[in-house]
Every structure is written in structure tokens, then in C-alpha cells.
Structure 1
Amino acid sequence: MKSQFAFLYKTSLFLVALVSLASCRDDFEPERSTGKLEFSRDTLYLDTVFSNIGSSTYTLKVFNRSDAFIRIPQVGLARGENSAYRLNIDGRAGKVFNEVEILPRDSIFIFIETTLDAQNNDQLIYTDQIVFDAEPYTQKVELVTLVQDAEFLFPGRNAQGIKETLQIGIDEAGEPILIEGFVLADDQLRFTNEKPYVIYGYAGIADGKTMIIEAGARLHFHDNSGIIVGNGGRIEANGSLSTDPETLENEIILEGDRLEPEYAAVPGQWGTVWFTPGSTGLLNYVTLKNSNLGILADGNTGNAEADIQLKNTQIYNSALVGLYAVTASIDAENLIVGNSGISNLWIRMGGSYSFTHSTFANYWNQSFRNTPAVQIDNFLETEDALLTSGLTKADFVNCIVYGNRSEELGLRSIEAIPFNFSFSNSLIRFDDRFGEFSALPNYDFTDTAKYQMIKRSEDPDFENTATNGYRIGLNSAARALGNATGAARVPRDISGTERNNNPDAGAYQATNLDN
């Protein structure tokens, strides 16, 4: 018995020592997180929130894939206690949490809710972030909630959590070029004015399908989002003249999803509307603003009628180019393109174009611009080749081409490749102060085959170029400059004012700007 008790006594002492030793080991103390957390999603889209009614509860899973027991010094909402979101982490409710721990190869759940008063909130979209840790280990998950009834359209995910993509080409190695996007289903092809739409990624229009956008519709695009019209696809965006110049209730508006006042005129908030080769479209009373490329028109179907018709359409604040056309076929009337980082209109590798009573005005002041408002080329130079295609026509009738540079018209052509263009009854800013263009035949303003009834570098008397106000005053050099042929084709200006037999050039008839 004595020996047995002695054995038990020694064993107990060993266990006590072992436990004591274990409690002192560093690997049972949590290590500081180093910003390598993983999340079940990078952006959490909450359903539409109605006034004073709480949302459903949404779940975010946070993974610790490492073998270490980690602690996150702080997890919380970027807006802090002022946020309209509420969090619950492992049974604790609040908006900011300190010392959140996750076991090795384990995860935690974060539950998110919100309640918003739509009537007292002037934002269409309410956003915040769940912020994990501080710099240099900060990680964030975006939270997005619609304050009023609206519709989200965004790419789905496969079983591995990878977002849906669209193939837009093949690289030099023969690999597909992919962008984040999705193909619109048949029941997603009609956009009404009943509620706004918010689009994440590129919405694709398939072969044989038509996107219908009704008058008064509002489409909002997230960063790197837009519309791609596939080969055989079509857009019909048919707005109408509005009675209220403030709300533009009948006009179709495409813009970014940041609607705070400070974002009202910020370029580059979303991607583009891309017409790929073989696609067609009609845009009437449509405004596109604050994108990278307003419209990208790529390719020609060869139809007798223009592939893309732009009527009473306005494109503003494009970070790069307002209307970028590569071997395209476009017919435009009462078109306004204003303030672009490169050019308002850039035609490359020829094509076929007609612009009647259109205004191209570039007073970009957010960076240095050394490119003209309108640039026309019958070539496209890449790193490996010089690509050429004939310019069948580029006719400008009763137009204004103006801006804050001395020369706002650029014409570059490769000899022996067709380069047919003409300007008639138009106001163009082109000073040629140093005579560097005088010997170039494309700039021979006495050549009546190219230029008829042109005024150069006379004041258009725009209303307010800083805010894209391109109405012209009674002292405008464009007044009574237009011809009757253009007026007969487009009998009313973009504001609905009737034109006479001595119309003004540009998209607007002159008016008293003091009223």
C-alpha cells in the first residue's frame, strides 16, 4: 500500500507540474492578427430597406486559416457609433469590439442588421464597412443597403465562391480575357421607372436579346461596372422630353452609385456602355455621366442603317473619352458631349458617322489635356502593328466643336486609306497660332469639299462650362449659323424648342441666359 500511495503521490505531482508548465507556454496565448483573415464574401448586399422597418439578419463568416490562435485588436463599423448598421459577434451586440479572438483553423460569425428611415435619408444607397484591425493589417468588408425600393443586379458565385465573369476576348497566349460580370436573364432585360437599378459588374446582353430601358429609368453603376452589348444584342433606351429641368422625370439617366452631392460631377465612377462588334442600339433622351468611357462603340455590322443612333443624348464628365468609336457606324442628332479627360469624340480606324446639331465642348480642368475635343483617325497604332480602316464618312452639320485649347479639332490620316470628312455650318475652335497646321491639307479651311460656312474661334457664349451648361446665349457666334437642311432633319432642339429656317448651330437654340 505504501508503495502504491507513493506512486499516486508522485503521479499527482507530475500532473500538477505539467499543468503548471502548460499554463506558462506562449502558444496558448493568442497572437496578434497580421491581416490574413478570409471572409465568406467581400461585399455584403442587404435587401432593400423600407422606412423604419428593420432588415433581415445577414451573416458574415470570418476565417482564421492559420495554425495560430489569433486576436484582432479591434473590429467595428467604419462609421462607428453613428452607423445605421448593428453587429453581433459571438453573442456580443454593438458597433465596435475590442480583442476579438479566433482559434486556429476556426471561424467566427458576424451578424449584421440595419434600420433606416428612407424619408429622412437623402441617399439612395447607404454604405459602411466592417473594419478589421488597424494599419498595416487593416482588412475591410463592404456593406451596401438600398434606402428605398430598388433592384440589385450583380454577378453570382459558383460553389467555390468565385464570382461570375464575362469573356471579352483572347490574349496573345490564347487565354480568355475575363471581366467580372453576368448575362442578363430574359426577366432582367426591361428597366422601368418604377424603381432604380444598381448594377455591380458588367451586365451583358446576349445575342438576339434586347435591353429595353423605359423613359424615366435610373441605372446606377458601381466601380468597374457597366453594360456590354454582345454580338447580335441591342439596347433600346427611349426616354422623352421632361417638363421639370431639375428632376428630368422622363429622361433616362446612367450614372455611378455614389449619390452624395460631392460625387455629383466626379469622373471615372464606373466603366462604360460598350457596343461590341455586331451590336446595335438606340439612345434617345439619355444622359450618361461620370464614367470612364461614356460610350465605347466597337465595330460595324455593315447594315445600311447606322448601328447606333444617338438622339437628344448627353455625355458628361468622362475620365477618358465621352464617345470612343472604332470602325463604328453612328448617326447622332442633338448630341452633347462635354468635359472629358482626353477627347469628347475620338474616331479611330475609320467607320461611318453623321452628327447633326451636336455640341462637343471640352473645358476639362481636372488635369492637363493635350488632346482636342474631336479627334478623327483612320488608323489605330498598337505596340505590334499599325491597323488601318477607311473613313467612309464623318459629316458634321450645324455643330459646335469648342473648348479651352487653341485647337479643338484633330485630323490624322494614313495616305491611300479613305479619309472622308466634312464640316458645314459649324463653329470650330481652331486658332493655329504658330501656323503648324497651315500646310496640312486636312486643315485647309478654304477647301469647300471639306468645309462650308465655318466660323473659327468665335465665342459660343455657353451658359456655364464648369457645370456642363451648354445652352448658348443671344450673343453666340453659333446663332443663325446652321442651315435649313439640318433643321428640317432635326426640327426641335434638345430642350424641345422649335428651330426655324435659320437655325443656330449646336444642340440648343440660343436663349436669353439671364432668365
Structure 2
Amino acid sequence: MLTLLPGCEPKENLVQTSGSLEFRSEFRTDTVLFDTVFTTIKTVTKRLWVYNRNRGAVKTDISLAGAAGTPFSVIINGDARPSAQDVTIRGRDSLLVLVRAVLGDNGQATTAKQFLVTDDLRFRTNGNEQVVRLVAYGQNAYFHRADFINTDTTWPTDKPHVIINSNYAAGGQVYQVGVVVAQNATLRIPKGARIYLHAGAYLQVNGTLLVNDLTEPAAFVPTDTVKANNANIVRFQGDRLEPYYAEVPGQWGGIVFTGTSKDNRIRYAEIKNATFGALLISPDNPTARRPDLTMENSVVRNISGSNVSFANANASSGGGIMSFSGTVTATNCLFTNCGEFAVLGVGGGIYNFNFCTFANFTPSFRRETASLTFTNEDAVNPQVKRPLTLNLRNSIVWGSLEDELFVKNHPEYAALSIRNSLLRTKEYATTPAVIGAAGVNLINTEPLFKRTSFTNPDYTLQDNSPATAPRRPAAGTVPPRDLRNLLRKMNTPSLGAYEHNK
């Protein structure tokens, strides 16, 4: 009986001399695909599952066809190596192969066009050779690591710009720095630029930032409709370009304006998937040194610092605009899907919003804070109060909460004027000091956006929206065109960023 025991070895351990393998990578059976990879940056790790559907075990030899010259690398059974021989896969079992890549610059000076890099991962099993294609679409870019801009600079637009935090030593300390615009220097970002920021990266402005500025010739022809895919829009977003990350908040830090920053202007831009869109902060002397930002015809969306695990682990809050004693002016702007605040103003400041839409439904996470939140209290010492001015005109403030407006200590403000706007507010529904006399604003009246779904929202107005036919002329200045560059009805324009046109 003892002599017969070796014959009882399980069949899945017995190596057979026939049979082949099956492969699976994401949604593909014969290809590992890296879609749009910036050169010189290590890609994410892709998983390739190798299945042995046979009853018995098989031995396979695995190798990269490109060998030493390939930009791809693989990890087989936990070891990083270009090849492995006699790898055993038990019957009806599988093997996990991890694939990464680092693409080199292909020398193309221009743009935006991608280039293709391929290799083969070969499996030789029982005399049969099978191939899994490794495919990466490369993208050349300008890379900014601890980049200090000390003189007036205009970024070219022939290639994207990628900002990556890098160590910078100063004063015995080591800091993580992406791009810093020095005091008295100006960074111009012209129409059509694409700015991608790596996890945790920031663009810090101690001087001046001009995006699609009025001094740029013919940034937009006045008669053009600015659609969401318009090539002239300047876009800020994270550098993870896989479809999964297309709408994920908190992938990068944000744009920081410090106390010495001044005359900043952002026009026809999209800022998305960040911890905050714009942070204005003047910690040294918030009354004498106040950063300022003017935004026009721009979209800020998918912003959150909550539960960020890969961009800024220390962040506990985020916002479309977070201002600590700053000055903010926004016209024809859309703020949406901001996880904590669409706009947060702390420690006083000056805030002017005209024809803006705050549509904050945040379907992908829980939100407990009003979209528009203001206080005159200092962030560090609440006993210290500073002057705060808030002018909200011709705008829509709506979202998933009953209270989307919070003006703490509003009787103490230097000025508070909310006129000709549609507001969702339970707390101030009967507070004339905030919302004005009856009829001045539309209170808790559904604006009837066309579509509020997270995947494909449309915050233009339905034909029967109460925001399309205000009962009084607009309050204050009416911009001649809306967010999409369409003409406004100058006498009775629609509320919010979008003019309604049947």
C-alpha cells in the first residue's frame, strides 16, 4: 500500500504535456493597455491574470520580447524580472503578473498628439507560444518639479504641463514644492493650455496668475459658443487619465494665492478633481495684505478634501474657493459637486458674485455644510472679528441640503447684499436682514435645472424654470454674455451662469 501512495498525488499538481493558457486584463483578453501616459513618469500597475483552465498543471516560460530596450516591466510571482522559466500553474488555478511602464520622450516637439509604444509578453507552454500585447499611448509634456518662476513667464501650449511636487530645501527645512510664482512675477497661461497636477501638487502664486487673460489676443471670438469641449478652455486637473478617475475629487492640491499675490484673473477655465479650486490666504497681516482673484466664465467642479487617501492625506476640508480674508469676484461661473463648500469665506474679506450658479448636489459623498459659508471670525482665534462684505446678485444657490447659505454673525458684516437671486435656505427664509424684503429674491423655489445627474449634469434651465423670467430687472451690472458666451437678455436676463434661450 505504501508503494501505491505516490500515485495519489492530486491531478491539479501533475504536470501535463498539452494545453494552453487564457488571459484577462481589465476588460481585455489579449492586451494590457495604458491609455495616455505622460513620459518619464511611472505608470500605474496593471494586473494581468493568467488562467490555466486545464485539470493538470502546466509549466510556462514568460519573457518580454523587447528585453532590455522595453519601457515595460513585469513582476512575476513577486519578483521584478524581464523573464521567468518553468513557472508552474496548477490545474484550474491562475497566476498574477503585474505590468508597469516608464515611457521616454519620443522627441516630438509638438503637441498634444499621442504616440504609440508596444511590446509583447510571451508565454511558451507545452510548445505553444501565446502573446499578450502591451500597449501604451504616450504623451510628451513640460514637467515642473520645484519650479520657481521669478520673472514674467508665458507657458507654451504645444504640449501639456505636468506639475509634480519635489523636495526643496530652505532654512534647514525640506518642503514639497510644485510650481511657485514669485512676488512681483506674472505667470500667463494662454488659451488651450492643459495643466495636469500629480497627487498632492500645488500651483502657488505669490505674484500674479493670468489665465486666458483679456490681454491675450482673440482668446474667444465674441460670437462663438463656448461648449464644454471647447479647445480654448484652460483645464486644470489631476494627472490620472484613466476613465475611472475622470470625475474623482481630491486628486491634487489646488491653486494657492498668498498674501503678496494680487491682480489674479482666471477666465474661460475649468478646475476639477482637486482638494480645493482656489485658496486665498494671508496669515501674516490679513487686512493690509489681501490676495485677490477675479473669475469669469469658468467652471469649478468635483472638489473635496474629505477622506482623501492619495492626494493630500492631511486635508479635512475642501472647497471650490476657500478664502481667508481674501477678495473674490466671480461672474458667469459654475460651482458644482464641491464636497464641503462651494465657497468658504473666513476671517472677513470681500466677496462679489454676479450671475453665478452654485449647484451643489455632491452625489458621490456625504456633505453637511452649506455650499456658501461665510464668517467674520478669524480661523485661528474666533474672538477676533474682521470686516466682511458679501454681494450676491442674480445668482442661483441650490443643492441637496435645506440650507445652502450660512452667513455667521451677519449683523456684524461691513455690508451684506443678496439681490435678485434664487436661494435654498431654511434658516434665513424669514430673515429680511439676509434675504431682503419679500419678492427681492426667490426663496426655496426649485430652479428646474435640465439635469442634475452626477455622470452627465446639465445646469442650464428648463423652459418653465422660475429663474428664466425674473419679475424685476437684474440687480446691478449685466455681463453681455453668459458662461457659454451666449448673449444675455439685457433687460430681464436669466438668473445664474446660463442664459436661457429657447
TM-score w.r.t. the length of structure 2 is 0.65
Q: Aligned equivalents of 2:493 and 2:101: distance in 1?
A: 60
Query: Structure 1 residues 122 and 381, CA, compared in 2 at 3 Å: closer, same or farther?
Result: same
2:144 — aligned with what? 153
Structure 1 residues 450 and 238, CA gap change in structure 2 (3 angstroms): farther
Contact 2:193-2:234 within 8 A present in 1 as well:
yes
The alpha-carbon distance between structure 1 residues 87 and 278, as it changes in their structure 2 partners (threshold 3 A), is: farther
The answer for the alignment partner of 1:238 in structure 2 is 212
Distance (whole Å) between structure 1 residues aligned to residue 185 and residue 245 of structure 2: 33
Match of 2:460 in 1: 471
Tell me the distance in 2 between the aligned counterparts of 1:215 and 1:508: 22
Deviations 1:244-291 (A, max 9, x none): 625321111101111222211110111010111120210011110010
Percent identical across equivalent pairs?
25
Correspondences of 1:88-167 after superposition (within 5 Å): 88=68, 95-96=74-75, 114=103, 147-155=138-146
In the other structure, the counterpart of 2:243 is 261
Tell me if structure 1 keeps the 8 A contact 2:258–2:291: no
Q: Indicate which of 483, 486, 495 corresponds to 1:497.
A: 486
Deviation string, structure 1 residues 203-251 (Cα, Å, up to 9, x no partner): 1111111110001111000100121112xx0000016446562532111
Quickly say closer, same or farther: Cα 1:149–1:186, change in 2 above 3 A: farther
**Alignment length, in residue pairs?**
375
Q: Residues 186 and 343 of structure 1: is their aligned pair in 2 closer, same or farther, counting only changes over 3 Å?
A: same
Using a 3 Å threshold, how does the CA distance of structure 1 residues 124 and 485 change in structure 2: closer, same or farther? farther
The equivalences for 1:239-388 within 5 A come to: 240-241=219-220, 243=225, 245-280=227-262, 281-299=264-282, 307-319=292-304, 320-382=318-380, 385-386=381-382, 388=384
1:353–1:283 distance in 2 versus 1, CA, 3 Å: same
Tell me how far apart the structure 1 counterparts of residues 66 and 370 of structure 2 sit (CA, whole Å): 51
Match of 2:398 in 1: 402
How far apart in 2 are the matches of 1:221 and 1:333? 26
- The 3-state SS of whatever aligns with 1:478 is helix
One-letter amino acid of the counterpart of residue 276, structure 1: T
Aligned to 2:120: none
Question: What residue identity is the alignment partner of 2:164?
Answer: Y
Higher helix share: 1
Where relative contact order (Cα < 8 A, 6+ residues apart) is larger, the structure is 2
> CA 1:355/1:206 → structure 2, altered by over 3 Å: closer, same or farther?
same
Could you tell me which of 206, 209, 213 is aligned with 2:185? Answer: 209
Shift of the alpha carbon at 1:305? 11
- After TM superposition, give the deviation of residue 387 of structure 1 in Å: 5.0
Contact kept, 8 Å, 1:85 with 1:114, in 2: the verdict is no
* Alpha-carbon offset, residue 431 of structure 1: 3.5
Kept in 2: contact 1:423–1:452 (CA 8 A): no
1:94 to 1:274, Cα distance in 2 relative to 1, 3 A: closer
Q: Once the 2 structures are TM-superposed, how far is the Cα of residue 371 of structure 1 from its aligned partner?
A: 0.9
CA distance 1:113–1:427, change in 2 (3 Å):
closer
The gaps in structure 1 that reach 5 residues or longer are 1-46, 50-54, 61-75, 102-110, 127-144, 156-181
Amino acid at match of 1:494: L
Query: In the aligned structure 2, how far is the partner of 1:366 from the partner of 1:48?
Result: 28
| Equivalent residue runs for 1:15-30 within 5 Å | none
Return the alpha-carbon distance in structure 1 between the equivalents of residues 179 and 116 of structure 2. Answer: 19
CA distances 1:290-320 after superposition (whole Å, capped 9, x unpaired): 1011111123887999821111111001012
Q: The residue matched to 1:386 in structure 2 has which SS? A: coil
| Residue 427 of structure 1 pairs with residue 422 of structure 2 | yes
- How far apart are 1:95 and its partner, in Å? 3.5
Pick from 180, 183, 199 the counterpart of residue 148 of structure 2.
Answer: 183
Whether the 8 Å contact between 2:374 and 2:408 is mirrored in structure 1 is: yes
